[in-house]
Chains A and B, each alone.
Chain A
Amino acid sequence: MDFLYYPGCTLSTTAKQLDTYARLCAKELGIGLEEVKDWQCCGAVFPLTSGQIGPKLAAVRVLVQSRDKNKPLITLCAACHHVIKQVNHQAKNDAEFREIIKNYDAQLTYAGEATVYHYMEVLRQYIGFDAIKKMTTNPLKGRKIGAYYGCLLLRPSDVMQFDDAEDPRMMEDFIRALGATAIPYPMRNECCGGYRALQDEEGTRTLCERIIASALSHGVRTVVTLCPLCQYQLTAAAGGDLDVCYFTELLAEALDIDDDE
């Protein structure tokens, strides 16, 4: 299965391991990734851009490419996924928005024809967790892993349609497929406060400390994330009490893939 791959800015800078292992695993699993040509920053803050067209144009261009190449779009960073999926939803359902896009650039006629997947959704839907379990050559036996979903992938749930926003299960299934013990803890779908990290440092830290404390109290030893922003926040709050890593790192470990390059 071939996809158009949108990495996003963070993945080429601070979150390289999220990107690297995703590409290596994709090769192993038979997922074809073609990187989007001339991609730009996704705009990163969909909820804050209502009424503005500028920050959404990059996402529209990516979506147009996906449609024209007839390849579904695959994303990795939760924030990018959120923005692109929301823009796609708006293009599909909001005629005024479509008009604004066209007025901005007559070449851009887009009505939400593309399909957007998060890498995790592709694993579930196109590979299947059972198949991944069979391909696991280095099962993560005995590892107590707690998934951290955050909020961007889950909400608004009618648009994102990732998992039950109040009681998500998908990543626990993923963790079990890798041979580890999945520990669901109550705060796994709470916001890390990432968006407000610069304005309200203390408030954000409190949120992250609660998430870490909730994971620790349930016996979690490793927290796995899907988002560079969450990863950054939680690593700081964990202070070495538990490991925080990307889901692609875990997947690579279980598939016994090394980053030799």
Chain B
Amino acid sequence: MKADLNNFPQLNKTKFENRGKEFRLGIPVINAVTVGNSIAVGFGDGTVRIFSSGKISEPIKAHKGIVLCMAKDGDRILTGGDDGRFLRISLDGNINEISNFGTRWVDHVTSKNGSVVCTSGNIVYLWMPNKKEPKLLEHDSTIGGVAFDSKGRKLAVSRYGGVTLWKKDYSNKWTSSDLIWKGSHNKVIFSPDDRYLVTSMQENQLHFWRLKDKIDSAMSGYGAKVKSFAFVGDSKYLATSGANDAVCWPFDGDGPVGREPICLPYVGKQLVTFVESFPNENAILTGLSDGSVYLSEIEKANNTIIIRSFTEFEVSAIAVTDDCSHLLIGDMGGNILWTSIWDEEKN
């Protein structure tokens, strides 16, 4: 990869834009989830559209207001909305309402190995495979985020004051322990090797716990709230938004305590609003508040290429197809780019 930043701000279209397809829908893009080589996108008008081979599906009328959250569930997706509905949607647009919470929003959804989870208020609703009735896991405050570990045996629930870590024993009974850190915790993820748990906070910082010995620490110094973060490749780095640089914390060895992050700068001093791991590479896709998107290799010099030029709207979704051939970028202005990643391929 080669630096291509001399033309910034990039008024000319990038090669990715030239060979890709642009959709100007004018509806805020809230989230995007990869299902095989299709990408499901949730919008601020409650609709979901499926992008596949550069084609866009008819809008699926999922929710009345906003698609608040979305997750992959096998070959389908789960969505939660501000109409209180928790839905399972197939890629051909079939909607199955799993539950309805009325005026209470469905804030978070996730799934693993057939188990399906949504949260509303302070309660996690957990449907085990083939069970009709959910198990209810109650918490003291509203849930900020929810995540399964890679095996689906642990469920991390972030909230005010820390994380509740639920564990399933071999008789399928769930017991909980608390990871405590003052303040309100939002999004939570496990590292791909399940050794670490990371949350973003109401304050401009992240927090992590090393699960084997419960050592924890803050990752701070951000100018804005960290809303997007992702482990890169084999979890050597955690890439984060919330600064002018993409800040990448080292999670190899004993983790980031006492170590400096690698900061990937972008011209123009825009805020990084979205980060996504680039599959199978030590590289990240970074979306900025002006709509531009870059691909950067973390440990190389001259490591950044521009994927999309600016749109004036903050990047709110980036997703790569499972075969790594194509990617989708969406922003809060409702602009979507679908493009092939590698030069030799055609759309």
A binds B: no
What residues make up the interface of B, taking CB atoms closer than 8 Å to A? Answer: none
